[in-house]
Amino acid sequence: MDSSIEVRRFESPDEALDMKENGGIDIVRMGDGTAGMYAVFEPGWTWEKDEKPLLGSPDTCPMRHTGYCIDGKLVVRMVETGVETPITKGDFFEIPPGHDAYVEGAQRVELIMFEAPAHEH
CATH code, 50: 2.60.120.10
Q: Summarize pLDDT for 18-33 with one digit per residue, the tens.
A: 999 999 999 999 999 9
Residue 3 lies inside a defined structural domain of this protein: no
Residue 70 lies inside a defined structural domain of this protein: yes
Label residue 120 by pLDDT band (50, 70, 90): very low
* Distance from C-alpha of 116 to C-alpha of 121, rounded to nearest angstrom: 7
Residue 40 lies inside a defined structural domain of this protein: yes
Residue 11 lies inside a defined structural domain of this protein: no
Residue 58 lies inside a defined structural domain of this protein: yes
Global pTM reads 0.88
Tally of domains within the chain:
1
Q: Output b/e per residue, 11-50; b: 16+ Cβ within 10 A.
A: eebeeebebeebbbbbbbeeeeeebbbbbbbbeebebeeb
Residue 6 lies inside a defined structural domain of this protein: no
Residue 56 or 114, more confident: 114
Task: Give the pLDDT mean for 71-85.
Answer: 97
Q: pLDDT > 70: what percent of the chain?
A: 95
Residue 28 lies inside a defined structural domain of this protein: yes
Tell me the residue range of the domain where 37 lies. Answer: 16-120
Task: Give the pLDDT mean for 83-96.
Answer: 98
Residue 93 lies inside a defined structural domain of this protein: yes
